[in-house]
Structure formats: structure tokens, C-alpha cells
Amino acid sequence: MQRASRLKRELSLLTTEPPPGITCWQNENQLDDLRAQILGGADTPYEKGIFNLEIVVPERYPFEPPKIRFLTPIYHPNIDSAGRICLDVLKLPPKGAWRPSLNISTLLTSIQLLMAEPNPDDPLMADISSEYKYNRQLFLLNAKEWTEKYASQ
């Protein structure tokens, strides 16, 4: 019950006052199955890309974080080929930083920030991470290429 009313409130806020570059909606009237789109930020290799994400809201939300993954392939050290995202706010403590006071809007904004500023010290993709650290030009080239190939509309 609490989950449903909170989700309705969050979705209505996401509809009326979405964070810049982010949209979120229910997938086929399933309250616990959401979709989101994040626009690649200016001056990043993801610029002009539109990235689709899947958000699965658990029974225990907000006491448990939603499971979010990229449906659009993205070349990024913290996002693997299955679209899983390595980000502390998506995990429960002690390993993560999820708190019930956080919401889906905050999570999507954090993911957007992670896209702009990868964390190569906590990678899911070791090869992309070392490329990011030691050959930034090649990383930027590959990330741009993937964005044009997979995230252009």
C-alpha cells in the first residue's frame, strides 16, 4: 500500500517536474515496471544519445532500492554489457548507500551524473576502465561510436 502511493507520487512529480534530460513512465500500467530515458549530457561522449532504462520496483520499496539497468548498450566503465550499473545508491548498506529517503528521480539523476563522470576505480568493465584511465582519447572515441550506433534516434 505504502509502495503504491509513494510510487504514484514519485511518478506524478517525474511527469510534472522531471529532472533536465530525464523522462520516466509506467510500462503498460504496471506500477512496479517503469521505463526511463536519459539524454546524454552536453560535452560528454554520450551527447545527443537517448538511453533507455528499465526500472523494476521491489515489493519492499522504499526500504529496498529499485533495480535499474540500461536497455540501450552504452560504452562505460561502470555499466556492463547486460546494462547493470555499478553505483552505490543502487545497493543496500553496508556495501551500498541506498536510503528510503532517496527516490527514483534522485537515482536517475545520479545515473546521469555517473554517465558524465565515470568512476574508473569501481568498474564493472575492467578493460573499459583502464582505457578510460590510460587512453582517454580512445575511450572517448569508442563511447561516441557506441552512442551513434545504439543511442541515436
Instruction: Calculate the average pLDDT of the chain.
Output: 96
pTM: 0.95
Q: How does DSSP classify residue 60? A: T
Residues with a catalytic annotation lie at 86
Report how far residue 113's alpha carbon sits from residue 93's, in angstroms, rounded to the nearest whole number.
Answer: 21
Determine the Cα angle at 54 with ends 106 and 13, to 5°: 40
Q: Which domains does the chain have, with CATH numbers?
A: 1-151 (3.10.110.10)
Q: How confident is the model at residue 29 (pLDDT cuts 50, 70, 90)?
A: confident
Asked if the model's pLDDT at residue 28 lies above 90, the reply is no
11 Cβ partners below 8 Å, 6+ apart?
24, 25, 26, 34, 104
Q: Which of 113, 84, 89, 97 is nearest to 20 (CA)?
A: 113
Let me know the angle formed at the C-alpha of 112 by 45 and 63, rounded to the nearest 5 degrees. 155
Residue 85 bridge partners (DSSP): 79
Residue 3 pLDDT class (50, 70, 90 cuts): confident
Go through the chain and tell me how many residues it has: 153
What is the C-alpha separation between 24 and 103, in angstroms, rounded?
A: 12
In single-letter form, the type of residue at position 78 comes to: N
What region does 29 belong to: left with phi over 0, alpha with psi -120 to 50, or beta?
A: left
Give pLDDT, residue 128.
Answer: 98
Q: What is the pLDDT of residues 79-134, one digit of tens each?
A: 999 999 999 999 999 999 999 999 999 999 999 999 999 999 999 999 999 999 99
Enumerate residues 6+ apart whose C-beta is below 8 A from 65.
58, 89, 90, 91, 92, 96, 98, 102, 107
